[in-house]
Amino acid sequence: MIFGITGNPVKEGIERILSIILDTLKPSDILIWDGLKDKILSPERVQFESENAIKNEADVIITIGGDGTFLRTARVFNSKPIIGVNVGTFGFLTIYGQENIRQALEDLVSGRWSLEERVTVKATVEGRTVIALNDITINVTGSSRMLSLNVKVDGQNLFDFRGDGLLISTPTGSTAYNLSAGGPILYPTMEALVITPICPHKLSLRPVVVPARSRIEAFVSSRTEDMILSADGQEIIPLKSGNHIFFTRDDSNVKMVKTPGVQDYFEILKNKLSWG
């Protein structure tokens, strides 16, 4: 098994995780992204490659950082099993850390692991398509003006509203922006999407959960400038009045590695949200 190692080089603590990985795995089984070369104490011990080469050659991707790093990794290595190691601040996706990554790697080498597949959502507008693991949003930057949107599901009108924007979330992203915007928490392996108005002018509007294979359409009638569509907060498409945006489940799933003994989802929820 070949392990591809990537991550966020500016994260504090990444050197310690890399040291554990190098102490646990055989150097011949490791390919490290060349962007992390300065974080390795003995760079002559390992092989450095581009992300594209790692995507072609590695069997499993280990990404080190926070949830934002995991989201980027999922987009770059979308066909590979991914294990997220947390050196960030939150960690719904990066569920491993310094305390358990060594055991997790030993389990991986021994074949004691499984995959948890997560739904992704895609949006298409003006011939461009973006894919997200967490969410895709429509909103305004640099202006306090509201958006005017019409939203349909499978051709049926859902609502017309004015507000700060619209959020289409996956179950994985339901604990991110969706939760802050008043949306529900969905179990991460569900086949569903959440349509969440962001600060709607009509207080009666509420988030709606639909099957993942639904075709969601948003029509932008605002003349507001600086409107954007954003995928996981990392990929942006400018919008203009008259744009139709189509959302649906993407055919690809993100494959998250799980090993024995790792916290289950409800334990993570209780710890991260301080439920007690």
pLDDT in tens, 107-163: 999 999 999 999 999 999 999 999 999 999 999 987 667 899 999 999 999 999 999
Cα angle, residue 185 at apex, residues 153 and 208 outer, rounded to 5°: 20
pLDDT, residue 144, reads 63
Record the tokens describing residue 14, joined without a space: 């990444």
Note the residue count of the chain: 276
Query: What is the C-alpha to C-alpha distance for residues 125 and 130, in angstroms, rounded to an integer?
Result: 9
Query: What is the C-alpha to C-alpha distance for residues 10 and 7, in angstroms, rounded to an integer?
Result: 9
Q: Are 183 and 164 in contact (CB under 8 A)?
A: no
Query: What is the C-alpha to C-alpha distance for residues 205 and 159, in angstroms, rounded to an integer?
Result: 8
pLDDT, residue 261, reads 86
Mean pLDDT of 199-216: 95
User: Per mean pLDDT, which range of 51-60, 90-99, 173-182, 193-202 is the poorest?
Assistant: 90-99
Question: 150: buried, middle or exposed (CB in 10 Å: 19+, 13-18, 0-12)?
Answer: middle
Cα 144 to chain centroid, rounded: 27
Asked whether this chain's domains 3-113+259-272 and 120-252 adopt the same fold, the reply is no
Asked whether residue 4 carries a pLDDT value surpassing 70, the answer given is: yes
Among candidate residues 59, 67, 160, 232, the one labeled active-site is 67
Asked whether residue 190 carries a pLDDT value surpassing 80, the answer given is: yes
Q: Are 110 and 24 in contact (CB under 8 A)?
A: no
Q: What's the N-to-C CA distance of the chain in angstroms?
A: 39
Reduced 3-state DSSP string for 161-211: EEEEEEEEECCHHHHCHHHHCCCCCCCCCCCEEEEEEEEECCCCCCCEEEE
Reference 68, options 137, 139, 7, 130; nearest CA is 7
pTM of the model: 0.92
Mean pLDDT of 231-253: 95
Give percent of the chain with pLDDT exceeding 90: 83
Mean pLDDT of 67-85: 94
Where residue 272 falls among pLDDT bands split at 50, 70, 90?
A: confident
Query: What is the C-alpha to C-alpha distance for residues 147 and 222, in angstroms, rounded to an integer?
Result: 6
Give the CATH H-level superfamily of domain 3-113+259-272.
Answer: Probable inorganic polyphosphate/atp-NAD kinase; domain 1 (3.40.50.10330)
Query: What is the C-alpha to C-alpha distance for residues 253 and 122, in angstroms, rounded to an integer?
Result: 11
Domain limits, the chain: 3-113+259-272, 120-252
Q: Are 225 and 238 in contact (CB under 8 A)?
A: no
Q: Are 105 and 25 in contact (CB under 8 A)?
A: yes
The CATH classification of domain 120-252, taken from the options 2.60.200.30, 1.10.10.410, 2.60.40.10, 3.40.50.80: 2.60.200.30
DSSP three-state, residue 259: coil
pLDDT, residue 274, reads 87
Residue 67 annotated among the catalytic residues of the structure: yes
Mean pLDDT of 179-190: 96
